[in-house]
Structure 1
Amino acid sequence: MGTYRYRVQTSGFGLFLGIAAEATRLTNPPTMNVPVSNRVWLDASEVNNAFHGNRLALNEREVAWLRVGLDKVSGDIERIETSPYILISVRALEIFEVDYAEEALAPAIAGWATREFTLTPRLCNVSRDSDTGQFTFDWNE
């Protein structure tokens, strides 16, 4: 299991999110998890708060952001992995409430996967609308 820490610090905002996850190679499709692509699946059912040790119950939006991030790198994972199925299990999150936005889950898990599978890094620029507070992630696609 590896941990990746996603950090962005600008003059207008900061984001920080640590994510610990593991990859399991499977011969059969997972039964209780979320498909991201044909061969990459996501498990976010048992996620701990890395700072407090208690269980985190991720909401649907948070799981959707994890899925978005894995989707950005799933094709790269499938190209290098020979296993029929790859299950990515998120085990813990490091969340600083002041610098947390659920949207940061996408680039955090993509960064974790890039390191875990030794993928070519994907540039993801983030900006924040100062009026609405909404974050935009540009994946340069």
Structure 2
Amino acid sequence: MTALEEDVQQLEFGLRQVADAIATARPEQLVVVQVEALSYPLTDYQPEAAAAAIAGWAAREFDFTPPDIAVTFDRTDGYTLTWPSPT
């Protein structure tokens, strides 16, 4: 899997985590999200950050509370993001 493919998977994952909130915010509309660019430093980057970033963007764009993502770090595995359980 290339870095780009992994980024796309993470963007999709992040949007799936907030899809219900987006649908609630725009119940009468079909929402299409088009990502035109993804820019990040090549050092210290983990693709999981893309999921959290797009979920945060969606929360701002559609005016809902962003998910409470727990972030932990260890030197072996880097950052770990734990998403809240679906309600």
User: So what's the TM-score if we normalise by structure 2?
Assistant: 0.81
Deviation at 1:93, TM superposition (A): 2.0
Report if aligned partners of 2:25, 2:63 keep a CA contact under 8 Å in 1: no
Find out whether 1:80 has 2:25 as its counterpart. Answer: yes
Deviation at 1:124, TM superposition (A): 0.9
Greater helix fraction, Structure 1 or Structure 2: 2
Find out whether 1:103 has 2:85 as its counterpart. Answer: no
Q: Which of these residues, 63, 70, 73, is aligned with residue 125 of structure 1?
A: 70
Q: Secondary structure at the match of 1:74?
A: helix
User: So what's the TM-score if we normalise by structure 1?
Assistant: 0.53
Number of aligned positions between the proteins: 83
Structure whose CA Rg is larger: 1
Gaps (5+ residues) in structure 2? none
Greater strand fraction, Structure 1 or Structure 2: 1
Structure 1: which 4+ aligned runs deviate by more than 4 Å?
A: none
Gaps (5+ residues) in structure 1? 1-56
Is the alpha carbon distance of 1:89 and 1:59 closer, same or farther for their aligned partners in structure 2, counting shifts above 3 Å?
same
